[in-house]
Amino acid sequence: MGECFSQQLDLSPEIKYNLGEKKKGWEKMRSFDYSYLKNKTWDNEILGLVAQIHEYKGRQELYLKQKPEKLDKLIEIAKIQSTEASNEIEGIRTTNTRLKQLVADKTTPRNRDEEEIMGYRDVLNTIHENYEYIPVRANYILQFHRDLFQYSEKGIGGCFKNTQNYISATDSEGNEFVLFTPLAPYETPAAVDAICESYNRMFDTQEIDTLILIPVFIHDFLCIHPFNDGNGRMSRLLTTLLLYRSGYMIGKYISLESKIAKNKNLYYDALEACQRGWHENQEEPAPFIKYLLRTILAAYRDFEERVDLVREKLPAAEIVRHAVYGKIGKFTKSDIMELCPTIGKTSVENSIKQLVDRGVLIKHGSGRSTYYTRSDAE
């Protein structure tokens, strides 16, 4: 078995890593010391993204102090989207109706996919409600993993991997090939301890902006790939935790997982670009830093768009009309409901019908296949 939550030893990351190094007789192993980030020069794009996110964060904090109760619906939507999208990336699915029931704890899982969806929901709720009291440590990461698989019969929850895993891809002819080989199982416990220790040390000194530190930590976590299963979902849960602990609460209101799922190819491209030279400590972290910062910034922009609709106190039909004119291409009723969290489903449906009748929108398809486009796009 891999090293499990109940089996964690109280040794420092350096001691455990050196023991592993000597035991295997390796002259050089991957090391983790984030102090090197202090001396790196970042390009204008990264500096600009960091500055913009700081600005959006300040504006969000101001709004939350004034009208926190207005955003309850956004929280509900974000939880559903985050749970759906993070599992969807891994090919874990259920129907929209079942998903909403599972997230609301109004039903029990019917199959393996729903068991894992329930686990994700529980860990996400734990982070939402307790992030201030969850330190960045290996034993807490193992507990998250245990809870992620608590409804599953796989028997892997809360244990580090016990077999070598690989990050693979499939070409156009269906042939699978290895993109990256993560650390070996025997190296994994010490490596996870090391990234946590280095992250916490740099976090405490405040010498590196956490918007730089978080993507580097998450990328290292993914390269270690510490579990037999659930590494991608765990990385996204840890991203949410680290952002919350640094004061970036955007994931509570806008689903970061949903944005990652919609740009999945960019996510994998950024990971692959940063994996080159990783084992030799020669990787360039900028591509993944940029990817994650762009995702966070896009979420803050979405938040402000939705807040603007809430703030204006317009009639339901006008709120929907404003939302519609913010959309490009085709969209569904669900898309509009996400943008209009303060009005009910019936009001959205009636407003869309009015806009169709007035020729503002064009309806396509029927039933579940229904979608809309703006008439000025024809």
CB within 8 Å of 230: residues ≥ 6 apart = 145, 148, 149, 156
Q: Let me know whether 152 and 185 are in one domain.
A: yes
CB 321 within 8 A of CB 336: no
Q: Let me know whether 229 and 325 are in one domain.
A: no
| Other beta carbons less than 10 A from residue 89's beta carbon | 17
Q: Let me know whether 283 and 349 are in one domain.
A: no
Q: Tell me, what's the pLDDT at 12?
A: 41
Last residue of a domain, one of 288, 308, 328: 308
Q: Let me know whether 336 and 294 are in one domain.
A: no
32 lies in some domain: no
| Other beta carbons less than 10 A from residue 245's beta carbon | 18
Cα 322 from Cα 310, distance rounded (Å): 11
Greatest mean pLDDT range, 15-29, 60-74, 78-92: 78-92
- pLDDT at 66 exceeding the cut of 90: no
Q: Let me know whether 297 and 318 are in one domain.
A: no
Q: Let me know whether 208 and 173 are in one domain.
A: yes
Least confident span in 45-59, 217-231, 264-278 = 264-278
pTM of the shown model: 0.83
107 lies in some domain: yes
Last residue of a domain, one of 278, 308, 338: 308
CB 237 within 8 A of CB 119: no
Q: Let me know whether 229 and 353 are in one domain.
A: no
340 lies in some domain: yes
Burial of 52 per CB tally in 10 Å (0-12, 13-18, 19+):
middle
Q: Tell me, what's the pLDDT at 5?
A: 67
93 lies in some domain: yes
Averaged confidence pLDDT in the chain: 88
Q: Percent of the chain at pLDDT above 70?
A: 90
100 lies in some domain: yes
| pLDDT band, very low/low/confident/very high, at 1 (cuts 50, 70, 90) | very low
The enclosing domain of 368 has a CATH number of 1.10.10.10
Greatest mean pLDDT range, 46-50, 334-338, 351-355, 366-370: 46-50
Domain that holds residue 328: 314-377
CB 102 within 8 A of CB 117: yes
The enclosing domain of 122 has a CATH number of 1.10.3290.10
Q: Let me know whether 88 and 192 are in one domain.
A: yes
Mean pLDDT value of segment 235-262: 96
Q: Let me know whether 209 and 330 are in one domain.
A: no
34 lies in some domain: no
214 lies in some domain: yes
CB within 8 Å of 120: residues ≥ 6 apart = 83, 86, 87, 148, 233, 237
Q: Let me know whether 55 and 178 are in one domain.
A: yes
CB within 8 Å of 9: residues ≥ 6 apart = 16
Q: Let me know whether 302 and 333 are in one domain.
A: no
3-state secondary structure of 373: strand
- Tally of structural domains, the chain: 2
Last residue of a domain, one of 286, 308, 330: 308
Q: Let me know whether 292 and 373 are in one domain.
A: no
Cα-based distances in Å from 61 to 57, 64, 134, 216, 239: 6, 5, 22, 26, 20
Of 87 and 8, the one with more pLDDT: 87
| pLDDT band, very low/low/confident/very high, at 142 (cuts 50, 70, 90) | very high
Cα 283 from Cα 40, distance rounded (Å): 13
Q: What is the pLDDT of residues 158-188, one digit of tens each?
A: 999 999 999 987 777 888 889 899 999 999 9
Q: Tell me, what's the pLDDT at 7?
A: 44
- pLDDT at 240 exceeding the cut of 80: yes
Mean pLDDT value of segment 73-95: 89
Cα 233 from Cα 237, distance rounded (Å): 6
299 lies in some domain: yes
